[in-house]
Amino acid sequence: MTARPSVLLVCLGNICRSPLAEAALRAEAARAGIDLEIDSAGTGGWHAGNAPDRRAQAVALRHGIDISGYRARQVMAADFTRFTHIVALDEDNLADLRRLAPAGTTATIGLLLDHVPGREGQGVRDPYYGDADGFDATWADVSAGARGLVRAIAAGA
């Protein structure tokens, strides 16, 4: 791989799952000593400019990561050539990404949990409409996905 690996993590609104996945991936890449460009975005734009959900901020902080400075943004056409990997958090957003991908897309597009043995094809459940416990489950999922994705990138995938 000649370009510096770069990952865009994508969910629907970019205030719950994808910011947590961004935080988990940043932590895992740092632990592994891998230099990655990492960002997150949503397929929808209605939360653009907003900080992550307070429950997402709380679970990240419990794991030693402050995501209060993250700001939601919507996926842009330029992302499909800017990033080497665009990673959806669920099947619906994966389908949207494939639909939005312009001609000339160079990014590899896939699901986060495809990098977790036995979880291939599964999505990270959206905790937005549930209680705080759902965010703990989301953290566990995105952390497992981040570990697997870092292993895949380190192996040249």
Of 116, 139, 100, 132, which Cα lies nearest the Cα of 17? 139
Q: Which of 39, 79, 90, 126 is catalytic?
A: 126
Cα–Cα distance for residue pair 27/153, rounded to 1 Å? 15
Quickly list H helices, 38-154. 54-62, 79-82, 91-100, 132-154
Which residue among 11, 96, 141, 147 is the active-site one? 11
Q: Classify the C-alpha dihedral 124-125-131-134 as positive or negative.
A: negative
Catalytic site residue 16?
no
17 a catalytic residue:
yes
11 is catalytic: yes
- φ, ψ of residue 3 to 5 degrees: the values are -80, 150
Report, in angstroms and rounded to the nearest whole number, the Rg of the chain calculated over CA atoms.
14
> Token pair of 74, please?
């919507």
Q: Which of 17, 90, 141, 147 is catalytic?
A: 17
Contact 86, 80 (CB under 8 A): yes
Catalytically active residues are 11, 17, 126
